[in-house]
Structure 1
Amino acid sequence: MVVTEARSEGAGALTFEEALARLEEVVRALEAGDRSLEESLALFQEGIELARLCQARLDEAEARIEKLLEIRDGAAVTEPFEPPGGQNP
């Protein structure tokens, strides 16, 4: 199996699904145990970055859902979600 590394500068452009799929590849590669120490460390670092990215995407989705479910005067109110840093997902 050939595993290519997603560099951190490009990882932010990944969707949740892409990041999760890559994270699963990284885990399988590490579990195989056939990599050198340096390769394993690089994969581990990439895995940590991908896990953080996935968590950030989940946190953003949760915040959007909370906004959608907000109730005012007995009616659900929606508001545009502004993530930290002002970038729209």
Structure 2
Amino acid sequence: MAENKHADIAKLSFEDALSELEGIVGKLEGGQAPLQESIDIYERGAALKAHCEKLLKSAEARIEKITLGADGTPKGTEPLDAD
């Protein structure tokens, strides 16, 4: 049920999700919400955090590092975690 409740999160960019998450953290830290609302926004915050982590892992998988030849010139690319 929580997945359906927060289905809109999947459509958010990393920046938008992070901004909303920061707002939630501020609201929770400030004690500005009644208990039930705090629980609801905490759950949304957890979903936003998971979404941000997923987007970061996806971006990390796409990053490549440039490999250099013996003379220092670029010779190609390889995956970041080539080990």
When normalised by structure 2's length, the TM-score is 0.72
Aligned letter for 1:20?
L
What do residues 1-21 of structure 1 show as CA deviations (whole Å, max 9, x unaligned)?
Answer: xxxxxx511100000000000
- Structure with a larger share of its residues in helix: 2
- CA distance, structure 1, for counterparts of residue 66 and residue 10 of structure 2: 29
1:3 is aligned to: none
TM-score normalised by structure 1 residue count: 0.67
| Residues matched between the structures, number | 70
**Unpaired runs of at least 5, structure 2:** 68-73, 79-83
Note the residue ranges of structure 1 that are not aligned, 5 or more in a row. 1-6, 79-89
Detail structure 1 runs of 4+ shifted over 4 Å in the superposition: none
Note the alpha carbon deviations across 1:9-54, whole angstroms, 9 max, x for none: 1100000000000000000111110211110000100110001111
What are the residue-to-residue correspondences of 1:21-32 with 2, within 5 Å? 21-32=19-30
The alignment-based identity, stated in percent, is: 34
